[in-house]
Every structure is written in structure tokens, then in C-alpha cells.
Amino acid sequence: MKFAVIVFPGSNCDKDLYFAIKDGVKAEVELVDFRQTSLAGFDAVLIPGGFSYGDYLRSGAIAAHAPIIPEIKRLANEGKPVLGICNGFQILTEIGLLPGALIRNEHNRFICETAQLQVVNNDTLFTSEYQADEVIDIPVAHGEGNYYCDDATLAELKKNNQIAFSYVEDINGSVDKIAGITNKQRNVLGMMPHPERALEKLVGSDDGLKMFQSMVKNQMDRVNQ
């Protein structure tokens, strides 16, 4: 399985994701510049956290027009896994692969701490190695992580089991304490917490490792079918 980690100007978690794949699950991975126009040969796409283009307009809004975006959409439409973390989640909403938007945290302050998440749906390409309703410890670091959607969208998310993770405690004002959602096909996941920062107990938690293991296992099962 070959992963692409997309690097935008201002990305700062790209190397974290790179080593999460290279050393965490021992899979093939490459850093891919945002100016590239092809993702041929890749089986999964990872969009890292950071501050793409400095967040000078709106988080993820400028990145949404980068040359690599059509290829990310193509892989998503082909059913391949696309994971956006933090700024990556913001980008996924800006390009229309996920509904809703990420706005300023409720108390208008940057949050940097370890949060407890509940695994709401473990029937996705990203969560199958978790137990249903499992509570995991994953770091957060964001100023615009307050997930917003209207009532109709929230109802759809619940109806289609698209809510993958929720915060155990409300940390940023997100609707229904949402921490991560998928598309209806469940091959695109956006989440504000950083699983790539939770790969070893030495750094506080290894609860993020199962996410990347889920991606690899599901891809291998798909190939062997």
C-alpha cells in the first residue's frame, strides 16, 4: 500500500504523518508537493495539519484551489481512502468532499491538549481496528476546530452513520461534540484531533496507531478479495 502525504505551504504535520506510515505501519509513503497534478500509483491520500497558505483568507480556502486537488477528488471518487487531519479536515470541507465547516473555537482561543474521543462508528476504512464506543486519547491543536453544520446536515450525518468520532467533553463548541466525520461512502475522513501524534505510549498515547493500521488492513483485504 502506497500513501501520499500532501504538502502545502504552511503544512507542519507532514513529517509526522510520513513517519506514522513509514515507521508506524511499515508501509510505503511519499511526500507530494501541492503543485503536482498526478497521484497515479498511490492507494491513499493523507492531508496533514498546519496552516496552509498561512490561513490568511480562511483555513483551507486557498489550498482548495491547489493543482493537486482534482487528483485528491479523483481518488476519493474511486473509493480510495482520503484522510484529512486538522487543517486537512478544513481543506476537505472547502473542496466539498465533506459537509459542514470549521469555525473559530467557541471561546476564541487556541486549544493544545490531549482530548478524549469516543469512537462513534468503527465500521469505516479508518476505524475498524477500534471497538465500538471505545474511548481514546488523541492530542488536539487548533484555533478553528469548531465543527458547524445546519440541522438538516446533522440529521443526515446521523442517519448515514457518518460521525466517526465525538469529543467526550465539549472542548471547542462543535455541533454535537463532533470531532470527525466521513463521507457517505466512508472512504473520506476528516478529523480535528491528531492521531499521528499518538503512536507511542512514550509520548502519552498510542491510540492513534489503530487508525493507520485500519487503513492498511482494509486495503490489503480489498486487494485479496
Query: Which cell numbers in the block locate residue 171?
Result: 472542548
Q: What's the pLDDT score for residue 224?
A: 72
Alpha carbon 68 to its chain centroid, in Å, reads 17
Distance CA(80)–CA(65), nearest Å, equals: 21
Cβ(204)–Cβ(216) under 8 Å? no
Beta strands at 101-103 and 82-85: parallel, antiparallel or unpaired: unpaired
Distance CA(186)–CA(55), nearest Å, equals: 28
Cα dihedral 199/175/182/8 (nearest 10): -60
Q: How close are the terminal C-alpha atoms of the chain, in Å?
A: 15
Q: Please give the domain boundaries of the chain with CATH numbers for all domains.
A: 2-224 (3.40.50.880)
Query: Which cell numbers in the block locate residue 200?
Result: 507511542
Active site residue 107: no
> What is the pTM (predicted TM-score) of this model?
0.96
Cβ(95)–Cβ(69) under 8 Å? yes
Name the catalytic one among 71, 94, 129, 194.
Answer: 194
Q: What is the pLDDT of residues 89-129, one digit of tens each?
A: 999 999 999 999 999 999 999 999 999 999 999 999 999 99
Distance CA(25)–CA(202), nearest Å, equals: 17
pLDDT band of residue 7 (cuts 50, 70, 90) is very high
pLDDT band of residue 221 (cuts 50, 70, 90) is confident
Residue found by looking up cell 503512536 in the block: 199
Name the catalytic one among 71, 94, 129, 196.
Answer: 196
Name the catalytic one among 13, 86, 129, 144.
Answer: 86
Chain mean pLDDT for the chain: 96
Distance CA(18)–CA(219), nearest Å, equals: 18
Cβ(149)–Cβ(116) under 8 Å? no
Task: Answer yes or no: is pLDDT of 65 > 80.
Answer: yes
Q: What's the pLDDT score for residue 19?
A: 97
Q: Which residues, 6 or more positions from 114, have their beta carbon under 8 angstroms from its beta carbon?
A: 137, 138, 139, 140, 204, 205
Average pLDDT over residues 164-169: 98
Q: What's the pLDDT score for residue 84?
A: 98
Task: Answer yes or no: is pLDDT of 8 > 80.
Answer: yes
